Structure 1
Amino acid sequence: MRQLYVYMNDLKAGVLTENTSGKEYTFCYDENYLSTKNPSISVTLPKREESYKNEYLFPFFTNMLPEGANRRSICRSLRIDENDFFGLLIAMADKDFIGAVQVRKTTDD
């Protein structure tokens, strides 16, 4: 199982998880974030207590990744499969993303 913390404007908004087989992804809002008036991280992931589940990495998160030649170059240099979107997201974690949403490594990584 691989996990990343998701932050919105430097406040922990939730946890993104890939299960061990890599065939299910969940995003769960942090209960403290739910109690604030802060917005959802995305219109496609509105704030709610129930976890979001999907067999593919949520498009909101894949859209945070580099594309084209940049993706190929990064994947080649870090030895990450170009189709391992979660692995690439982990590699990009703690870096400077565009926008209010950031992903950060968990303390287990």
Structure 2
Amino acid sequence: MQEGNVLRNKKQVGVIRRNDEGVYSFQYDEHYLLDKESKPISVNLPLQKEVFQSAYLFPFFYQLLAEGSLKELQCKEHKIDVDDDFSRLLKTAKDDTIGSITIEEIK
């Protein structure tokens, strides 16, 4: 299993995972859900206690990934298969993402 902490402005929002069967999941952090100031990270991922599951990387998270020559450079630098978007997300979305969301790999 691979997983990463999802942060908004360095505050824990939830955890994204890919299990050994290739199924993706995202779940909001319990404390984040209790905070009245919390907002969903995406209209497709509304605030809820239940786990979101998908056979594909959620579009919101996919949009955090670089494309083109930067994608190629990242894959080469981190020794990641160009088709392994989730590993790339965990390795590259800790810094310099568009917007307030970052991902920190859980090792």
TM-score by length of 1: 0.91
CA contact (8 A) 2:91 2:105 kept: no
How far off its partner does 1:25 sit?
0.3
How far off its partner does 1:9 sit?
2.2
CA contact (8 A) 2:74 2:92 kept: no
C-alpha distance in structure 2 between counterparts of 1:11 and 1:78, whole Å: 26
Runs of at least 5 residues in structure 1 that lack an aligned partner in the other structure: none
Aligned residue in 2 for 1:45: 45
CA contact (8 A) 2:4 2:17 kept: yes
For residue 80 of structure 1, what is the amino acid of its counterpart? I
Alignment RMSD (CA, Å): 1.1
Cα deviation per residue 1:58-87 (whole Å; 9 max; x = unaligned)?
010010000011101211222211110111
Aligned residue in 2 for 1:31: 30
Question: Where does 1:1-109 land on structure 2 (aligned, <5 Å)?
Answer: 1-22=1-22, 24-37=23-36, 38-106=38-106, 109=107
Cα deviation per residue 1:72-105 (whole Å; 9 max; x = unaligned)?
1211222211110111011114222221111112
For residue 92 of structure 1, what is the amino acid of its counterpart? T
For these two proteins, the number of residue pairs brought into alignment is 106
How far off its partner does 1:36 sit?
1.0
Runs of at least 5 residues in structure 2 that lack an aligned partner in the other structure: none
TM-score by length of 2: 0.93
For residue 42 of structure 1, what is the amino acid of its counterpart? S
